[in-house]
């Protein structure tokens, strides 16, 4: 197993080095405005990281991600439970969920520019992306609950609160964790994209937008690398915490 892990790590390093080599080669034959070299981008990234304002910018974007995720789970979980438990509610809401999933994110961003204040747009877009995923996963979790347990709880007239606490929630935790894994991999990118298009004042997306206006390709690439690093770090950290605390619920 360790041998296979070593091969896997070495192959990833090799792929990374090939990518950097190709990037360096393409940069050599192009103007830095078109494609700066890895060295220039790395130097720009260090300059960005050495600026105090950078951390205010990052915190603004992270706070939007956090607020969007809180709203998504706080609304998506109870709605998913409602869809599972009530046929009328399900008939009403399922078409809306399908509509949300089918509509391109860019359309929602453009509509949000008309409807909302700028600071609300990234949170709104993140919610619209995550809400259907959470709702569907919670609903599917309910479908997997043992029908015999439900019948037994009905026979003994167990209260709805007790059913939710001791039957429904333990049964849907694994599905909620599955949706969390899906959501974490895209949430940061969605917020940054919404910030870019909405031209919000402070945020990573705003910094990328300013770099684009000034034709500073090296800054665009440096901020992009930072977004990738932060997104992967957040995903790994939160998934690590969840697996440690709720590992038995992971499939």
Q: Which two tokens stand for residue 42?
A: 């790395």
The pLDDT score that the predictor gives to residue 238 is 84
d(CA 178, CA 160) in angstroms, rounded, equals 25
End-to-end CA gap in the chain:
21
Query: Which ranges of the chain have pLDDT less than 50?
Result: none
**pLDDT tens for each residue of 183-240:** 887 888 999 999 999 888 889 999 999 999 999 999 999 999 999 998 888 888 887 8
- In whole angstroms, how far apart are CA 113 and each of 86, 91, 97, 213? 35, 31, 22, 20
Q: pTM for the whole thing?
A: 0.82
Q: Which two tokens stand for residue 52?
A: 């105090």
């Amino acid at each position: 197993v360790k041998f296979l892990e070593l091969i896997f790590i070495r192959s990833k390093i090799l792929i990374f080095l090939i990518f950097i080599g190709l990037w360096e080669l393409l940069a050599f034959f192009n103007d830095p405005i078109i494609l700066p070299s890895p060295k220039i981008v790395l130097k720009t990234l260090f300059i960005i990281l050495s600026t105090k304002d950078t951390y205010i910018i990052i915190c603004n974007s992270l706070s939007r991600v956090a607020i969007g995720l809180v709203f998504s789970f706080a609304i998506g979980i109870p709605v998913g439970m409602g869809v599972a438990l009530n046929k009328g509610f399900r008939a009403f809401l399922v078409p809306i969920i399908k509509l949300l999933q089918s509509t391109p994110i860019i359309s929602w961003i453009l509509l949000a520019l008309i409807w909302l204040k700028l600071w609300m747009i990234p949170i709104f877009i993140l919610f619209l992306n995550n809400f259907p995923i959470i709702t569907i996963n919670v609903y599917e979790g309910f479908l997997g609950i043992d029908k015999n347990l439900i019948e037994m709880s009905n026979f003994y007239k167990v209260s709805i609160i007790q059913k939710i606490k001791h039957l429904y929630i333990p049964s849907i935790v694994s599905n909620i964790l599955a949706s969390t894994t899906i959501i974490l991999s895209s949430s940061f990118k969605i917020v940054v994209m919404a910030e870019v298009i909405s031209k919000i004042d402070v945020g990573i997306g705003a910094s990328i937008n300013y770099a684009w206006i000034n034709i500073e390709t090296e800054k665009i690439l440096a901020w992009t690398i930072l977004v990738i690093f932060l997104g992967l770090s957040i995903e790994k950290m939160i998934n690590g915490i969840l697996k440690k605390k709720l590992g038995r619920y992971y499939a």
